[in-house]
Chains A and B, each alone.
Chain A
Amino acid sequence: MHQSRGIRTLRTIAGWLVVGVFFFPIYFWTTVAFRNAKDIFNWPPIFVDFEPTARNFEQVFGISLGFGFGAQEAVTPGGGNFYMAPRLWDSIVIASMSTVLAIVVATLAAYCLSRMHFRGRHEFVNWVLSTRMMPPVAVAVPMFFIFKQFSLLDTYLGVILVHGLMNLPLAVLLMKSFFDDIPSEIDESALLDGASRWTIFRRIVLPMAKGGIAATAVLCFIFSWTEFLFVLTLTQTSIKTVPVVSSTFVTSIGTAWGNMAALGAAAIVPAFIVIMLVQRHLVRGLTMGSLKQ
């Protein structure tokens, strides 16, 4: 397509503007993590011209970074109030395990819903979706009592189950649409080739659905990584995820913005790594070449 120089420049500028709008909060938040409290709420705001410090990170992760921005402070033994490193680990465990749970169950369920004809199949799909139609807060309190009954409060398993199950409806629906896009003649070919349902699923369909699984996994992971309400209600002291502990930086003597930003900035990293890893599989056109064009 031929475009005049002016239009191209305009498009580039518009593109950078959009990128800037999305990137600016991340940039600002990250710099906040490296500021002393006095540099955070300046007016007019400062963007680059502040004295960097690693103190926030040192407090949040209970380590001495020892690179010389500003005054090196002694790390509080045992971590102190703002010591949050294990919470990052909690988040990683919960987000990845609940994603695995949701993906395994959703993939199997979606394949059946896509391929097997049973009575009430369409109603089933609607019913699955309906479970996400009420506000989560409506079930938070009942869930608390149910979890208490089953001793799931404050356990990894409890939160993993909740996040996994909350992700299921959407994951099932998404995966079903990916399976629906795979022509059923491919399954039928394999069936005539003598393969069992399970072999067809594992050897033929699953490799084709890789892109769909990757996309669904990203969504599930991000959901769990940022979910607040259920982690807040279903955990007490032994585990907490990043969104919930972030709220504890708001204390009676003020809000520790610098520490909150440090944890937030650090929390981007694992999620970013997971998404990068998964994204390699987000290739389109996996069924290409199977059919005549």
Chain B
Amino acid sequence: MTAPIETTGAAAEAQPEAVLEGVPSKRIEGRSLGQIAWLRFKRDKVAVAGAIVVILLVLIAALSRPLQSLLGLDPNEPNQSLIDPNTTLPLGDFGGMSADHPLGVDPKFGRDLLARVLEGSWVSLIVAFGATLLSVAIGTVLGVVAGYYRGRVDAVISRMMDVFLAFPLLLFAIAISASLQGGAFGLEGLPLHLSVLIFVIGFFNWPYMGRIVRAQTLSLREREFVDAARGMGARGPFILFRELLPNLVGPIVVYSTLLIPSNILFEAALSFLGVGIQPPQASWGGMLNQAVKYYEVDPQYMLVPGLAIFVTVLAFNLLGDGLRDALDPRSR
């Protein structure tokens, strides 16, 4: 907590009189802990690289559809002329790479792979972000409540977390996706699949966040500033959201960033198993699923979504680790 950054001695000195005179005017705007963390983060080259890749990925995902039309590509346009009718493999070397199709095309249909990874990127990120947001919202509120009120409230919430963590999530996800296939909640097709994925992944992952927030709250609540707030007449909600929560932002940001890649992997796994995003909609997991059948004859097909997942997960993990070091130097 005590940052090693104290450039001028002005603030650190004991004599109040000296401080009154000695403060250079430019330092009067205080440096928040966030600004200090930023300075620390900037020095971590690996984390900065991760952050840049993450920003690029988010931009690509957000602009995925415009990018596709800009490049004149369509992820769902079959192109039988590029396929060998006997083997159903793409014609040409490296999975049919060409100027028109820089990453090649997929076997059997001849759809452009660049367009399909681009299309998969927003699916992946929207599910990962949505699910993370949901887990963080539930986990933070329940975690901070359990940690602050302790006792029976904590016992109930903690047992709930145990139950959720013991839940056979994968089986549940398979069952729920299968049973909702036809349409539910007034949704069908892609919106339904996205919502189901976000709900299943997010709703069952909250205990990870809940535990971290609860543990941090347990130690924070013993700090004297909580007593100080109570001594001024603060009620529970004020203490939870005004006094405790601002001090939890660091760990929440860090673990959200680390939760995103694991959610990307989970989404890919579900789509791979055929219970996530349904074809013909492109998704990284779905592409891998189809690529498995061809991995000996057309390894390129597997490489493209595989690398996309790998780079994304790695970038988020590097960013998360860097954030942890910057925001919470004690946990190194």
A, B bound: no
Interfacial residues, chain B to chain A (CB-CB below 8 A): none
